[in-house]
Amino acid sequence: MKQAMDSLGQSMQASLSSMAGLSVPSEQLQTIQQEYLQQATELWNAALQHPDQIKASDRRFAAPEWNSQPGSAFMASMYLLNSRTLQKLADQLQGDEKARQRVRFAVQQWADAASPSNFLAFNPEAIKKAVETKGESLQQGLQHLLHDIRQGHMSQTDESVFEVGKNVATTEGAVVFENPFFQLIEYTPLTAKVHETPFLFVPPCINKYYILDLQPDNSLVRYLLEQGHRVFMVSWVNADESLAKATWDDYIESGVIKAIDTTRDITGADQINALGFCVGGTLLASALATLAAKGRKPVASLTLLTTFLDFGDTGIMDVFVDEAMVRLREMTLGPNSPQGGGLMKGSELAATFSFLRANDLVWNYVVGNYLKGEMPPPFDLLYWNSDSTNLPGPMYTWYLRNTYLENNLCKPGAVTVCGEPLDLSLLDMPVFVYGSREDHIVPWQSAYASTQLLSGPVTFVLGASGHIAGVINPPAKKKRSHWVTGSSVRQLPTTADAWMASASEQAGSWWPVWSDWLSEHAGGTVNAPRQAGSKNHPAIESAPGRYVLRKA
Task: Find out whether the peptide bond into 544 is cis, omega within 30 degrees of 0.
Answer: yes
Cα-Cα-Cα-Cα dihedral of 539, 541, 542, 543, to 10°?
-90
The CATH homologous superfamily for domain 173-314+409-549 is Alpha/Beta hydrolase fold, catalytic domain (3.40.50.1820)
Query: Would you call 503 helix, strand, or coil by DSSP?
Result: coil
Say whether 205 is catalytic. no
What pLDDT does residue 127 have? 96
Of the listed 205, 278, 410, 418, which one is catalytic? Answer: 278
Q: In DSSP terms, which residues pair with 207 in a beta bridge?
A: 388
Asked if 39 and 77 touch (Cβ cutoff 8 Å), the reply is no
**Alpha-carbon radius of gyration of the chain:** 26
Which of 103, 131, 499, 523 shows the shortest CA–CA distance to 300?
523
User: Distance between alpha carbon 104 and the CA centroid of its chain, in Å?
Assistant: 21
What pLDDT does residue 20 have? 57
CA dist 329 → 101, 323, 326, 395, 399 (Å)? 21, 10, 5, 11, 11
CA dist 246 → 250, 331, 394, 404, 418 (Å)? 6, 16, 6, 20, 13
- Enter the pTM of the model: 0.91
Which of 427, 484, 422 shows the shortest CA–CA distance to 451?
427
Tens digit of each residue's pLDDT, the chain (552 residues): 444 334 434 443 444 444 557 888 889 999 999 999 999 999 999 888 888 788 888 899 999 999 888 899 999 999 999 999 999 999 998 988 888 888 999 999 999 999 999 999 999 999 999 999 999 999 999 999 999 999 888 999 999 999 999 999 999 999 999 999 999 999 999 999 999 999 999 999 999 999 999 999 999 999 999 999 999 999 999 999 999 999 999 999 999 999 999 999 999 999 999 999 999 999 999 999 999 999 999 999 999 999 999 999 998 888 889 999 999 999 999 999 999 999 999 888 888 888 888 899 899 999 999 999 999 999 999 999 999 899 999 999 999 999 999 999 999 999 999 999 999 999 999 999 999 999 999 999 999 999 999 999 999 999 999 999 999 999 999 999 999 996 544 578 999 999 999 999 999 999 999 999 999 999 999 999 999 999 999 999 999 999 999 987
